C-alpha cells in the first residue's frame, strides 16, 4: 500500500490491538456464560434438593 515503513508498523500495531480487544471481549463473554450457567445450575439443584 504505502512505502512508508512507519505507517506499516502503525497498521500492524493497530491490527494487533484490535486482535487483543477481540480476545478480551471473547474471554469476557465466555466468563459471563460460565457465571450464568453455574448460577442456573445452582438454582436448579436448589429446587431439586
Tens digit of pLDDT for each residue in 19-48?
999 999 999 999 999 999 999 888 888 876
The rounded Cα 3 to chain-centroid distance in angstroms is 33
Residues 20 and 4: their CA atoms lie apart, in Å, by 25
- Does pTM surpass 0.75? no
What are the tens digits of pLDDT across the range 4-20? 667 778 888 899 999 99
Amino acid at each position: 500500500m504505502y512505502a512508508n515503513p512507519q505507517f506499516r508498523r502503525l497498521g500492524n500495531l493497530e491490527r494487533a490491538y484490535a486482535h487483543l480487544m477481540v480476545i478480551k471481549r471473547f474471554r469476557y463473554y465466555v466468563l459471563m456464560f460460565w457465571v450464568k450457567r453455574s448460577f442456573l445450575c445452582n438454582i436448579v439443584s436448589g429446587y431439586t434438593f
